[in-house]
Structure formats: structure tokens, C-alpha cells
RNA sequence: UGGGGGAUCGUUCAACGGUAGGACAGCGGACUCUGACUCCGUCGAUCUAGGUUCAAAUCCUAGUCCCCCAGCCA
């Protein structure tokens, strides 16, 4: 435990940014502008969400950027502005959640809370001004006609027949639009720019539409609403925003943004675009997240599996970790997909420092200490944080009957298994050394249901007076003193890194991870857990970081969400152990890059370069338009299925017979792009066209095991 | 096939004509009353082809690939 030697105190103002870190391109522009005394060296940004959904981690990137830049620059300010120009999608619920989320992230907009809807009157006046200048006109074309007149990406549009209406007529019509004299959708106000522009946004874009909907702030006052492209530059201008930072898809809109400010001749803000955040194993669009909520695929917007700010909060993420993450991912214009492992790293780093340690047993296995007096019990004082005595300690009861984790015992352990097995000695964390003397199996299931151990009284507190070492330390709870609790184990929401980019043959929801939530209802925990407050975070030793659920946890019924596991090097060892199959296999030879050693015959080493694995076929279907190929989804124990195309259709007219079969897969081939999709491996089969069979195993092998 | 953007280790961000660097991930090791933490080591990249230059990720030319745009959404 050494991490407290330079404990930092992260705040929104100081975390991240060391003076030496190079500026991203936006901060470089701003530094340049300040140097040139542009806008009197003033820096004023804004965060402009539309209240049509909950904020997610991608918004956090924008929030950290906008508020962060304001905070870094002397006198800098950042406004919170709701871009609420489409009443049909927006709702007060979302506004409230946005307040909560931005504040929770640690940012403060002071008295600078704005709504685009507050500018409706001014916006209307600006529109009138544009009409007077001959730069806008009322158009009677239907939506369908407007689309047709707009042209296509490669063909120019043509002028609307209403394009040259006299100013007075436009003024009159626009007034009547506002007065509600026309039905929804019958007319729009358009900018008069250039129907032949190669930039479609400049082909006389719609500025106002007629829309009878109750606005969450203005109620029924308006039946015309301004479009984003008209509203945004004017809102920025009215607020004196110096740098209007938005995402890449608005790059094409910048000429229109500039056009509006030019024509209206008002304060000139500069729009700068950066790449939005994408994260592996999740989706990041409000539309898709809404879909998950509405279809009940997750419980709610704040479901701990969601990448929403509220979901992350409920999961146990801290504002500090999210801000740190946003600092680390950087700001640029490249389309990027950030590894969720980085987010997990950030939360582990933060929580490692802050979280009190507790002992909790998720899957209890009863242990009886045979030589411990039956009626006795004692209390051990255990530190809340082994690296930081200032965090205090708590009392943990011990008795003859304990629970340990089922995983911490193996009847027939492999090498390097440092936990309990027959005859093995381990330390019970903070208590005693114990040695397993026997175990009891359920006769029906063959499952180990009880362990018997002896303890060494001289090792009280966990140290041995004779200096003997034990390799393993396991966590435990005293059975009679322990309390029951529910634990929700969360995992990634999707099984593939990029659910929306999966070669478009399937909907993103097809890749939802069925194991993204596992609930365990009868966990046993040390009694101090009773005191846990909703939202409070602990490290359950050797398991991970968990927080008491803010909605469902109570003293009577504690419920914990797993925020993130601890890094688990044992899991890796286990994996390699499995794949090696036999112990003490020699190291794989390094593949030399020298090309001169080409040999006519393959060596055993060459063969060893093929990674052969046990694969279990989970799905199988014939490939349309192919008389040979089957599309197989094969489980290699990787947490996702691999798609493999195999030319074995003739041998298996009934594809369903393949499902469940254990086959041999060449697992380390470079994936091959085929006409029908990516093939990520090869299945070994024998025979010829007429007499063909895949190589299978009898018996039950675990997916992913090495084949040799 | 129009317009706007973008291509640097597996991922992500830097390097702004002068030693391609950091973080995450991976791998190896040390330490350890958490197989955690921490520490050390290691692997590893300039889209391609030409050109300019003493010197190119950076400048020029020609290609290739990827993303965005045809809402009365934002």
C-alpha cells in the first residue's frame, strides 16, 4: 500500500492538467485568441444540451471541456443553456436530470442558466430583420416538395416558386404564421441563400416551422418554433459566447452559423468542432439509449449498466473518476473509440484511494474450525484501509463457523493455486492461519458444501510467530454474525466492442450481453455493512468495488452494485493454465523475423504456432446465396461469440444438429473478410465433398481450451 | 459521382522541418496479511507511392481508406 505517499486533492479546477501537458487544438486556439486580445481576451463557453434525454459520458466530455476551459482561463465563464426549440421531444424531467448531473460532475453555472426558449421573442425579431433585408422568405412548399427542390448530394437544388415573394408579403405571412392562421406544416420561413450550393445546409434552410405543441416553458404561447441552425448562432451571440464548441457533425453547418451572424451583424462567436466520444461495449446516442429504456432492455435511464451520468453514478462511479477520464481521453478531430478499460482504470484508481475495505462473501461455502471452541467468539480490529491508518478501523467478529468464497476452495487444485485445498494452509484475512483437514460433498450433486479446518491459535491477527509464510489470504465472515445482502454484478452491456458497427446485418440490440447483470441474493457480509448508507462505496476485499444502491438498499435489505472488479491476475493465470493443458510446457519459441530460415518441411514449432481451441457451436445457419457455406457462431470462452464461415453445408443439411457440438477451431488466424461477413477462424473438418465431417469431441470440454 | 472532415503503437492523445513520446491494454518480474495496490522492465506505430530538404509524421504531388451531410431533429 503505497499510493498515499502523494495523495492529490482533485477538484474541478486542479485535477488533470499539469502545466506541462500540451494543449489540445481547441485550447491552442483559445490561447492564441487570448494572446491576440480577441474579444478583449475574454473566454466564454457554453454547454447547450437539448432536454430530450439523459446526459451520458459523451456529454461529460463536452461538459468537462466547456466548463474546464472556462475554469482554466482567468475570468472565464461557461453558461448552461437548454436548446429547447423542439417541444415535441423535450420534457421537464430531462431538464431536472441535467441540472443534477452537471452539478454532480462538479461544475457550476452560477447565475448563467439560459433557455433558448427565452429568446423566442428576439429570435422572431431577428427573423423579421432577415425578411426585411430580403434574406428570408415564407415558403408554401410541402415538406415533400421541399425535399425534392433541395436536390441531392450530387445535383443542385432549384429555387422555390415562393423564393421571390415581396418583402411585405413575407412580413405579412410570417406574422400570420405566428398568429396561428395556418395549419402545422403548411408553411415555413426559409433563409434565402443559394439553392445550388454544394453544401446542402446552405440550400435555403428552414428557419421556422409551424408546430402546435405545448412547450415545457412557453406553453401554448407559440405555434412557430425556430430551428437549431437559426437559434444556435443567435443564442451564442446574445450571450457573448466567444468559443462555441460542438461536435464534428456540425462542421457542415458552420457556414450557416457564420452567415446568420454576418447577415444580422451581431456579436461574432466562433464555432469549433471536436470528435464525440465513443466507448467500447456500449452505445452512445440518446436515441439508442432511449430505445433500451423504452423496450425494457434496461430498467431505466439510471440503470447501472447505462453509460448515462445517472447510471454511472448509481453504479458507483465518482465525479472525480469521470473527470479524470475526460482529461485522459483528450480532444481531437479523429473519430475514436475509447477502450472502456480506461474508464475502469480511472474508477479503480480513485476508489482504491477512497473506499473503505470490508469483507463480503458472494457465494458462501461453510467452514467449520474444528479446534475452535464451539461457544467462543472474538472480535478482530481490522483497518478500514490497509494503506491509510487515518481511515480508522472496525471490529469484525470471528467464530467457529465461517463462510468463505466457494472459489477459494478446490478439491484438486492446479499448481499456483494459493487458496484452500485439502491439506493446504491459508491465512484468513486479519484472523488466523487455517489448514483444511476435510470436506463434505453433497451426495446428489457432488458439490463441496462444507469444509473442516483447524486453526493455529498462535497466528492470531494473521501473523505467524515462527515466521512461516502462507501464500494465500482469503476473506471470510463469521456465519452467525454475518448479515445477508443482495449483490448485483454488472458487466459490459454489449458483447462486442462496437455494437452499432457490426457490419449492419443485425440490430445493435442483438449484441446485448445477456450476462450484463447477475443478481446474487444470499451473500453474507460482515455486520458493519449494516451501517452502509445508500450510495456509499466499499471495496469488498479481493472482489471489487461496490456501492450500496441508492434506490433499493436499506438497513433491512442491503443491496450492493458492483462498480468494477479488482484487476484479477489469477483469472489470467487460470486462463493460461487452461490453455497450456499440461503443466510445465516450454515457452513458445519466438518467431524470428529473419526470412532466411525458410524450410521445406513444417516443424513441430510451426505447428505450435497454430492456436487450436475447443469451440462450442452456439448458432448455425445456412448462408443465403451460397450452396456451401454455413455461418456458425462459435464460443471460444472469450466472452463473445466468433463468426466463422465453414464450407460444410452439404454434410449438414440439418444445421441445428451442429448446435452444441464441440469442435476444433484455429483461433489465431487473421480474420478474413468474406462476401457475407468477417470470418474469425477456421473449423477443422475431414473428408471430401461427398463424405465430409467436422472434427468433434465427445465428453464435455470447456470452450476456449487449448487443443494439442 | 457534390461538399465537409480525418488517417501516428492493439486503443487513445502528443510531437507544429531536427532523437516518434505519454496513458490505457498486453507481456515479464519484484513486493505483498487483498493473486489488489505500488514499483521495475518489456512489446509496440507515422495509410501508400513519388518529390523537396543535410534532415519529413510534419512541406509538395498523386492515390487509397474511414467518418459526416439530402429532418419542417439537435
Per residue in A332-377, pLDDT tens?
A: 999 999 999 999 999 999 999 999 999 999 999 999 999 999 999 9
pLDDT band at A623 (very low <50, low <70, confident <90, very high): confident
Long-range contacts of A530-537 (CB under 8 A, 24+ apart): A530/A483, A530/A555, A530/A558, A532/A558, A532/A560, A537/A316, A537/A318, A537/A351, A537/A354, A537/A355, A537/A563
Sign of the alpha-carbon torsion through A608, A611, A615, A617: negative
Q: What is the pLDDT of residues A261-301, one digit of tens each?
A: 999 999 999 999 999 999 999 999 999 999 999 999 999 99
pLDDT at A503: 66
A677: pLDDT strictly greater than 80? no
> Which pLDDT value is given to residue A584?
36
Average pLDDT, chain A: 90
State in words which class domain A604-694 has.
mainly beta
Looking across all nucleic acid strands, the nucleotide with the smallest C1' to CA distance from residue A387 is B37
Nucleotide nearest to A21 (CA to C1'): B14
Helix (H) or strand (E) holding A144: helix A143-150
Domains A132-226 and A604-694 share a fold: no
Return the H-helix or E-strand segment holding A548: strand A544-548
pLDDT value at A415 more than 90:
no
CA A550 to C1' B58, in angstroms, rounded, equals 52
Instruction: Please confirm, yes or no, whether A441 is among the known catalytic residues.
Output: no
Q: Tell me whether residue A536 is one of the annotated catalytic residues.
A: no
Please identify which of the residues A38, A50, A288, A706 carries the catalytic annotation: A50
Question: Where residue A670 falls among pLDDT bands split at 50, 70, 90?
Answer: low
Q: What is the nearest nucleotide to A344, using C1' and CA?
A: B24
A20 pLDDT band, cuts 50/70/90, is low
Residue among A289, A281, A279 nearest A328 (CA): A279
Find the nucleotide nearest A342 (Cα to C1′): B24
**Whether residue A593 has pLDDT greater than 50:** no
Which nt sits closest to A151, CA to C1'? B70
Quickly list DSSP for A570-615: HHHHHHHHHHH-STTPPPPPP----GGG--SS--HHHHHTS-EEEE
A170 CA, B38 C1': Å apart: 72
pLDDT of residue A689: 56
Which residue's C-alpha cell is 481450451?
Answer: A705
- The predicted pLDDT at position A554 comes to 95
Q: Can A93 be counted among the known catalytic residues?
A: no
Q: Please pick, among A89, A276, A394, A706, the residue that the annotation labels catalytic.
A: A276
What pLDDT score was predicted for residue A697?
78
Q: Residue A489 CA to nucleotide B38 C1', Å? A: 27
> Residue at minimal CA–C1' distance from B26?
A572
A22 CA – B19 C1', rounded, Å? 19
Give the residue-averaged pLDDT of A400-418. 95
How do residues A250-262 score in pLDDT, each as one tens digit?
A: 999 999 999 999 9
Name the residue with the least CA to C1' distance from nucleotide B23: A328
Determine the topology of domain A360-475 in CATH: Ribosomal Protein L25; Chain P (2.40.240)
Question: Is it the case that residue A591 has pLDDT exceeding 70?
Answer: no
Higher pLDDT, A611 or A160: A160
* Residue A153 CA, nucleotide B70 C1', distance (Å): 6
Which bases of chain B are contacted by protein, using any atom under 7 A from a CB? 1-8, 10-16, 22-28, 33-39, 66-74
Q: At residue A708, does pLDDT exceed 90?
A: no
Side-chain half-sphere of A461: how many Cα atoms within 13 Å? Answer: 6
The H-or-E segment that residue A398 falls in is strand A393-399
Of residues A665, A653, A656, the one with CA closest to residue A618: A656
- Could you identify the residue whose CA is nearest to the C1' atom of nucleotide B6? A334
Per-residue pLDDT tens over the stretch A194-244? 999 999 999 999 999 999 999 999 999 999 999 999 999 999 999 999 999
pLDDT of residue A642: 85
User: What pLDDT, on a 0 to 100 scale, did the predictor assign at position A612?
Assistant: 80
Q: Degrees (nearest 5) of the Cα angle A35, A37, A40?
A: 140
Q: Which residues pair with A425 in a beta bridge?
A: A435
Provide, in whole angstroms, the distance separating residue A327's CA from nucleotide B58's C1': 26
Percent of chain A, pLDDT > 70? 91
Q: Lowest mean pLDDT of A108-112, A164-168, A182-186, A414-418, name the range.
A: A414-418
pLDDT at position A275: 98
Q: How far is the CA of A20 from the C1' of B21 (A)?
A: 13
What confidence score (pLDDT) does residue A128 get?
A: 98
pLDDT at res. A422:
97
How many Cβ atoms from other residues are within 10 Å of residue A551's Cβ? 12
pLDDT above 90: residue A37: yes
Tell me: pLDDT of A5 over 70: no
- pLDDT of A504 reads 56
Q: Which nucleotide's C1' atom has the smallest distance to the CA of A153?
A: B2
Which residue's C-alpha is at the least distance from the C1' of B68?
A: A249
The nt closest to A349 (CA vs C1′) is B37
Position A673 confidence tier, pLDDT thresholds 50, 70, 90: low
CATH number of A132-226, picked from 3.90.1150.10, 2.60.120.620, 3.90.800.10, 3.40.50.300: 3.90.800.10
Q: How confident is the model at residue A581 (pLDDT cuts 50, 70, 90)?
A: low
pLDDT tier, A644 (very low <50, low <70, confident <90, very high otherwise) = confident
Distance CA A1 to C1' B30 in A? 15
Q: Which residue out of A61, A135, A178, A286 is catalytically annotated? A: A286
- Predicted confidence band of residue A580 (pLDDT cuts 50, 70, 90): low
Return the number of other C-beta atoms located less than 10 Å from residue A490's C-beta.
22
Confidence band of A616 (pLDDT split at 50, 70, 90): confident
**Mean pLDDT lowest for which of A74-78, A172-176, A504-508, A555-559?**
A504-508
Residue nearest to nucleotide B38 (CA to C1'): A2
| pLDDT of A2 | 36
For residue A590, name the pLDDT band (cuts at 50, 70, 90): very low
Residue, of A84 and A622, whose pLDDT is higher: A84
pLDDT (average), residues A529-558: 97
Q: Looking at the domain A286-356+487-570, which fold is it?
A: Ribosomal Protein L25; Chain P (2.40.240)
Arithmetic mean of pLDDT, A627-654 = 80
Instruction: Tell me the domain boundaries of chain A.
Output: 132-226, 286-356+487-570, 360-475, 604-694
What pLDDT is attached to residue A587? 30
In the predicted structure, residue A605 carries a pLDDT above the cut 80:
no
pLDDT at A675: 64
Residue A258 CA to B1 C1' — how many Å? 29
Amino acid at each position: 500500500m503505497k499510493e498515499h505517499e502523494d495523495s492529490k486533492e482533485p477538484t474541478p479546477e486542479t485535477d488533470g492538467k499539469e502545466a506541462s501537458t500540451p494543449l489540445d487544438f481547441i485550447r491552442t486556439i483559445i490561447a492564441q485568441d487570448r494572446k491576440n486580445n480577441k474579444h478583449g481576451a475574454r473566454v466564454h463557453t457554453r454547454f447547450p444540451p437539448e432536454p430530450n434525454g439523459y446526459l451520458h459520458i459523451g456529454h461529460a466530455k463536452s461538459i468537462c471541456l466547456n466548463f474546464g476551459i472556462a475554469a482554466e482561463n482567468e475570468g472565464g465563464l461557461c453558461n448552461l443553456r437548454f436548446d429547447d426549440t423542439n417541444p415535441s421531444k423535450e420534457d421537464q424531467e430531462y431538464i431536472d436530470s441535467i441540472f443534477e448531473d452537471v452539478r454532480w460532475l462538479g461544475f457550476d453555472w452560477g447565475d448563467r442558466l439560459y433557455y433558448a426558449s427565452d429568446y423566442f421573442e428576439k429570435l422572431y425579431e431577428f427573423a423579421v430583420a432577415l425578411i426585411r433585408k430580403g434574406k428570408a422568405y415564407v415558403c408554401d412548399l410541402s415538406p415533400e416538395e421541399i425535399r425534392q427542390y433541395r436536390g441531392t448530394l450530387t445535383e443542385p437544388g432549384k429555387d422555390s416558386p415562393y423564393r421571390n415573394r415581396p418583402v411585405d408579403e413575407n412580413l405579412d405571412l410570417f406574422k400570420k404564421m405566428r398568429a396561428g392562421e395556418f395549419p402545422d406544416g403548411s408553411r415555413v420561413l426559409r433563409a434565402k441563400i443559394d439553392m445550388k450550393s454544394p453544401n446542402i445546409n446552405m440550400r435555403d434552410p428552414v428557419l421556422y416551422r409551424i408546430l402546435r405543441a405545448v412547450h415545457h416553458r412557453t406553453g401554448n404561447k407559440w405555434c412557430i418554433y425556430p430551428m437549431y441552425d437559426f437559434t444556435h448562432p443567435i443564442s451564442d451571440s446574445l450571450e457573448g459566447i466567444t468559443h462555441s464548441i460542438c461536435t464534428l457533425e456540425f462542421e457542415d453547418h458552420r457556414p450557416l452559423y457564420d452567415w446568420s451572424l454576418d447577415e444580422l451583424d451581431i456579436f461574432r462567436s466562433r464555432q469549433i468542432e471536436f470528435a464525440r466520444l465513443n466507448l467500447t461495449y456500449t452505445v452512445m446516442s440518446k436515441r439508442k439509449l432511449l430505445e433500451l429504456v423504452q423496450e425494457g432492455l434496461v430498467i431505466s435511464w439510471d440503470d447501472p449498466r447505462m453509460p448515462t451520468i445517472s447510471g454511472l453514478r448509481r453504479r458507483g462511479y465518482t465525479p472525480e473518476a469521470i473527470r479524470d477520464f475526460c482529461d485522459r481521453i483528450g480532444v481531437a478531430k479523429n473519430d475514436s473509440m475509447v477502450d472502456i478499460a480506461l474508464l475502469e482504470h480511472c474508477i479503480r484508481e480513485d476508489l482504491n484511494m477512497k473506499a473503505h475495505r470490508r469483507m463480503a462473501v458472494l457465494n458462501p461455502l461453510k467452514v467449520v474450525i474444528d479446534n475452535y471452541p464451539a461457544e467462543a467468539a472474538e472480535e478482530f480490529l481490522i483497518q478500514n484501509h490497509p494503506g491509510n491508518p487515518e481511515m480508522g478501523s472496525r471490529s469484525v467478529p470471528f467464530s467457529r463457523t465461517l463462510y468463505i468464497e466457494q472459489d477459494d476452495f478446490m478439491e484438486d487444485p492446479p499448481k499456483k493455486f494459493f487458496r484452500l485445498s485439502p491439506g493446504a494452509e491459508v491465512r484468513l484475512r486479519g484472523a488466523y492461519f487455517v489448514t483444511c483437514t476435510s470436506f463434505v460433498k453433497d451426495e446428489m450433486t457432488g458439490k463441496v458444501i462444507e469444509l473442516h479446518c483447524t486453526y493455529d491459535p498462535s497466528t492470531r491477527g494473521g501473523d505467524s510467530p515462527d515466521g512461516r509464510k502462507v501464500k494465500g489470504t482469503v476473506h471470510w465472515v463469521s456465519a452467525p454474525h454475518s448479515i445477508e445482502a443482495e449483490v448485483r454484478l454488472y458487466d459490459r452491456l454489449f458483447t462486442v466492442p462496437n455494437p452499432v458497427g457490426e457490419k449492419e446485418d443485425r440490430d445493435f440490440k442483438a449484441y446485448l450481453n445477456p450476462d450484463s447483470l447477475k443478481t446474487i441474493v444470499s451473500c453474507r457480509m460482515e455486520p458493519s455493512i449494516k451501517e452502509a448508507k445508500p450510495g456509499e462505496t466499499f471495496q469488498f476485499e479481493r472482489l471489487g468495488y461496490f456501492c450500496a444502491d441508492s434506490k433499493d438498499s436499506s438497513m433491512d435489505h442491503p443491496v450492493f452494485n458492483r462498480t468494477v472488479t479488482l484487476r484479477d491476475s489469477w483469472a489470467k493465470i487460470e486462463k493460461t493454465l487452461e490453455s497450456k493443458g499440461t503443466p510445465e510446457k516450454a515457452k513458445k519459441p519466438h518467431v524470428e523475423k529473419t526470412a532466411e530460415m525458410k524450410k521445406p518441411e513444417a516443424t513441430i514449432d510451426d505447428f505450435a504456432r497454430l492456436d487450436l481451441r475447443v469451440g462450442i457451436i452456439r448458432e448455425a445457419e445456412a448462408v443465403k446465396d451460397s450452396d456451401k457455406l454455413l455461418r456458425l457462431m462459435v464460443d471460444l470462452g472469450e466472452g463473445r461469440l466468433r463468426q466463422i464461415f465453414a464450407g460444410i453445408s452439404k454434410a449438414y443439411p440439418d444445421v441445428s444438429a451442429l448446435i452444441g457440438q464441440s469442435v476444433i477451431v484455429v483461433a489465431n488466424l487473421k480474420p478474413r473478410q468474406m462476401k457475407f461477413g468477417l470470418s474469425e477462424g477456421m473449423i477443422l473438418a475431414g473428408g471430401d465433398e461427398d463424405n465430409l465431417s467436422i472434427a468433434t469431441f465427445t465428453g464435455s470440454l470447456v470452450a476456449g481450451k487449448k487443443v494439442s
